[in-house]
Amino acid sequence: MDKLPQELVLHISSHLSIPDLCSFRLVNRSLADSTYPEIGKHVSLLNVSSSVEDFVLHFRDRKKSSCTKSLTVYHGEWPVCSRKEWQVHPLSLYEIHPRAFLDAAIDEVYERYLRFTSLQWDRPNLKDPSAFSKLLSTLPQVKSLTLSPLRLSSRRCWSINKRIGHLRSNMWISPSFNDSMAPLMGAFLSVSEEFPRIKELIVKGRLNPQDVSLTADTCVTRLEIVSLVSVGARSEAFLALIYRFPKLEHLSVRLETANSIHVPTSMHGIQIQSLRSLFLGNLWISETWLTRIIDQNSRMNTVGLADITLTEGTWQSFFTRLRDSHRLLNVTCDGVLDGTNLDCPALVMEDDKRYLLYRFLNCEQSRWPFRVFKFREAIYV
């Protein structure tokens, strides 16, 4: 194995999952060195002060940090409570431990919990812009940043899971899995001018634009917001956030499921000169405003729609206007395209219907291929 060309080793390692790659690297020292660029491409970090400090210390070695292209930060918060509250807290693991009846064990665990929570207050984590700046300074090649809540780590990052499990067993309490990404995003925006190399920002947790601290513009060209909160947010807050990305070329926005009917009115005003592609998901919007968003971004060449409900107009009218505009647009649709109008059939966008829609948009002589059937589901004419 140690005689294999490095190019072949890298090709093999690129097809392995992270657990398999870690096992593969254990074969010998040569494989471990050869595959480090692959395993170090994407790194993850738990946003607690001790993890941030260890991370910065580890990546001071430029040989290690130069391989990293993307970074994911998992964020959650541990509840701060008195001893009595700690024992009966809904997130407490006190009752499932066999040593819970030993006062000495309880005292020891609670002391560890107090030390941990006090460190969270005394030492900076990534909600502090200076800590975020220090972290990103250790990763000179990072181009993509993902902010994610802890609830998504179980399916995606076994190393973060292991770290959370250690903290839970050490303190007998779970993190609150706070979904709000506003503090982290605000901290990043505060220092983003220092890091023009970061071109992609993905926000996977709940984001209320009104809670984001807006201090500087950023060089990010690709922004993805997975769960935008619109209830309780000022109508202009969303646009104020988006306009902090003046070089934005690719924008993807999904509204939070429970709030998809509450569309911020300012979303209709999206107008970015550099915008090339736009994806909208899980929202209610009128045909007029959806058409206006497309019309006022003249350089846009890709539009993605998923789980959209028209509050006015029909999909037949919308796609006909889109076709008649003679713009070179690549339109992709997914999920269900529905409408409140009885004449607007629900289009369940599977492969066959995507093909029919593609043919309709690219042939002026084509007639609308769907009609209303029972339960307002669209079928072929």
Predicted pLDDT at 35? 66
Q: Pick 214 or 253 by higher pLDDT.
A: 253
Q: Is 359 inside any structural domain? A: no
What SS3 class is residue 193? Answer: helix
Alpha-carbon span 375 to 311, nearest angstrom? 18
Q: Is 15 inside any structural domain? A: yes
Alpha-carbon span 352 to 137, nearest angstrom? 48
Q: Is 207 inside any structural domain? A: no
Instruction: Locate the DSSP E strands across the chain.
Output: 42-46, 70-75, 144-149, 200-207, 222-228, 250-255, 277-285, 302-310, 330-339, 347-348, 370-372, 378-380
For 3-59, give the secondary structure using H, E and C.
CCCHHHHHHHHCCCCHHHHHHHHCCCHHHHHHHHHHHCCEEEEECCHHHHHHHHHHC
Determine contact, residues 13/35, Cβ cutoff 8 Å.
yes
Six-digit token string for 305: 């729609």
Q: pLDDT tens digits, residue range 289-319?
A: 999 999 999 899 999 999 999 989 999 999 9
Alpha-carbon span 227 to 253, nearest angstrom? 8
Predicted pLDDT at 163? 75
Residue 249 region by backbone torsions, left for phi larger than 0, else alpha for psi between -120 and 50, else beta: alpha
Q: Is 25 inside any structural domain? A: yes
Alpha-carbon span 227 to 288, nearest angstrom? 24
Tell me how many domains the chain contains: 1
Rounded to two decimals, the pTM is: 0.84
Determine the straight-line distance between the first and last CA of the chain, rounded to whole angstroms. Answer: 61
Q: Is 142 inside any structural domain? A: no
Q: pLDDT tens digits, residue range 197-245?
A: 999 999 998 888 888 888 778 899 999 999 888 765 566 788 888 888 9
Q: Is 10 inside any structural domain? A: yes
Alpha-carbon span 111 to 133, nearest angstrom? 32
Predicted pLDDT at 166? 78
Q: Is 26 inside any structural domain? A: yes
Alpha-carbon span 184 to 73, nearest angstrom? 9
Q: Pick 128 or 19 by higher pLDDT.
A: 128
Compute the CA torsion angle 215, 273, 259, 262 (nearest 10 deg): 110
Q: Is 6 inside any structural domain? A: yes
Q: pLDDT tens digits, residue range 350-381?
A: 998 999 999 999 988 888 988 755 444 555 44
Residue 172 region by backbone torsions, left for phi larger than 0, else alpha for psi between -120 and 50, else beta: left
Q: Which residue in this structure is represented by tokens 């690549």?
A: 330
Alpha-carbon span 225 to 208, nearest angstrom? 10
Could you list the residue range(s) of the whole structural domain that residue 9 is in?
A: 1-39
Which helix or strand (DSSP H or E) is residue 238 part of? helix 237-242
Alpha-carbon span 23 to 7, nearest angstrom? 19
Predicted pLDDT at 265? 52
Alpha-carbon span 176 to 81, nearest angstrom? 12
Other beta carbons less than 10 A from residue 295's beta carbon:
14
